[in-house]
Amino acid sequence: MREGGKRLRRLGFAAVFMLAASATQARSQGNPACGVPAALGDGWIIDSSESVGLDSARLCAIAARLKETEANVHAVVIVRHGKLVFEQYFAGYDEPWGQGGGQHDFDATTKHDMRSASKSVISLLVGIAIDRKLIASADEPAVKFFPEYAAVKSPGWDQVTLRHLLTMSSGMQWDENRGWKDPRNDEPHLSIEADPIRYILSKPIAKPPDTVWTYNGGGTDLLGNIIERVSAKPLEAFAREALFAPLGISDWEWMKYRNEHVASAAGLRLRPRDAAKIGQLVLNKGEWAGRQIISPEWIEQSTRPRFQAIGYFSGLFFYGQQWWMGRSIAQEKEVKWIAAMGSGGQRIFIVPDRDLVVMTTSGLYFRPGQGDGALDMMANYILPAVRDNAR
């Protein structure tokens, strides 16, 4: 006790008052150092969560919740009013493309598999191709772009349009809801067939187009190949020039299967804060930093609910043109969102009514409830952290 008194006298009453004030401020702000974004000079305006009307104490409680639920989330990135205001990274199990499974560390500079969130980026690239008149419209017949496969296409393919591929309503007989090693799973054929395009176009059209929704990476694969054909560029080159460079995204990869076929539907790898730029672009109706990258009409078409999407990711969602739509209930209020979703828990949430973008990565591949951690954060922590409900 005497030692403590001596220490107080050495510090002086002024210093003690400053320490107490600092501690009080930290308690009131819920540890303001939590989730502060790194300054990487990548085009983001960085600010504090409090400055954009978010309760930092509530956001700082996310880490404890993730540990409690064992959600294996690797990153949480939050953008509000166009500013990057929160990012946290966590070590955990992951299965990066081509590297096998194991424990990994993550930070603001680490790329992460986007898996099927890649599909939403393909939708944006199709929109850009249409804006540039490389494709007349989404109502063009898909087989028009593959004349050399006329002899192998199954009956009914002439009625399938790009929009049917975008909305996963082509009627193609396709099944991805099986184990990867199950020979009846169509998705692995994209990686092992010498000619995946032939494999896709030879699949029967089992139902009339535009009548039934079936999750289908084969259709996205065709869209990626169409982009290459109309642009006369590899998919990676067109994506770099048309989308990533304008967004200031320089550190990314689009992986290929072992047959050297680009994985249009699942192969994109991005830093989470760069993936959040994709969400902000959609929130801004195709505009970034004063530049219109994609027409607002395409964004509106893509994010309009068209089908009830049942039986793939957990939850009850709607589907547009390679984009998901859903809702959360937060503080007894329904909040609608748009999302890109990928296996393992990769999520880009866009919440127009809250002027909010949330990006999460995770490593719960091929497991039930793989995206529940992200939905839990949205409903119980991030949305309730919004102090004002207006833009």
Distance separating alpha carbons of residues 308 and 321, to the nearest angstrom:
12
What would the pLDDT profile of 140-192 be if each residue is shown by its tens digit? 999 999 999 999 999 999 999 999 999 999 999 999 988 888 999 999 999 99
Residue 366 pLDDT grade (very low, low, confident, very high; cuts 50, 70, 90): confident
What would the pLDDT profile of 277-307 be if each residue is shown by its tens digit? 999 999 999 999 999 999 999 999 999 999 9
SS3 call for 151: coil
- Name residue, tokens 């990769």: 346
Question: Is residue 263 a contact partner of residue 235, using CB atoms and an 8 Å limit?
Answer: no
58 has pLDDT over 90: yes
Question: Is residue 354 a contact partner of residue 389, using CB atoms and an 8 Å limit?
Answer: yes
Tell me what the pLDDT averaged over the chain comes to.
91
Residue 350 pairs with which residues in a beta bridge?
338, 357
Residue 135 one-letter amino acid: I
Q: What's the pTM value of the predicted model, to 2 decimals?
A: 0.91
Pairing of strands 83-89, 73-80: antiparallel
Residue 391 pLDDT grade (very low, low, confident, very high; cuts 50, 70, 90): low
pLDDT at 179: 87
314 has pLDDT over 60: no
pLDDT at 9: 40
Pairing of strands 268-270, 287-288: unpaired
Percent of the chain whose pLDDT exceeds 90: 83
pLDDT at 315: 63
29 has pLDDT over 80: no
pLDDT at 22: 35
Domains, the chain: 112-385 (3.40.710.10)
pLDDT at 312: 63
User: 26-30, 76-80, 232-236, 342-346: lowest mean pLDDT where?
Assistant: 26-30
Distance separating alpha carbons of residues 150 and 96, to the nearest angstrom:
37
- At CB < 8 A and 24+ separation, what contacts does 180-185 make? 180/366
Residue 330 one-letter amino acid: A
User: 29-33, 54-58, 74-78, 383-387: lowest mean pLDDT where?
Assistant: 29-33
Other C-beta atoms lying within 10 Å of the C-beta of residue 125: 21
32 has pLDDT over 50: no
Residue 28 pLDDT grade (very low, low, confident, very high; cuts 50, 70, 90): very low
Distance separating alpha carbons of residues 162 and 69, to the nearest angstrom:
41
CA 113 to each of CA 298, 309, 342: distance values in angstroms, whole numbers, following the listed order: 26, 23, 9
**Among residues 339, 357, 356, 336, which one has the least CA distance to residue 276?**
357
pLDDT at 16: 30
**Among residues 49, 84, 54, 83, which one has the least CA distance to residue 388?**
54
Give the residue with greater pLDDT, 137 vs 368. Answer: 137
232 has pLDDT over 50: yes
Pairing of strands 45-46, 83-89: parallel
Tokens of 199: 């494999």
**Among residues 224, 268, 255, which one has the least CA distance to residue 125?**
224
CA 73 to each of CA 95, 190, 225, 342, 371: distance values in angstroms, whole numbers, following the listed order: 13, 28, 32, 13, 9
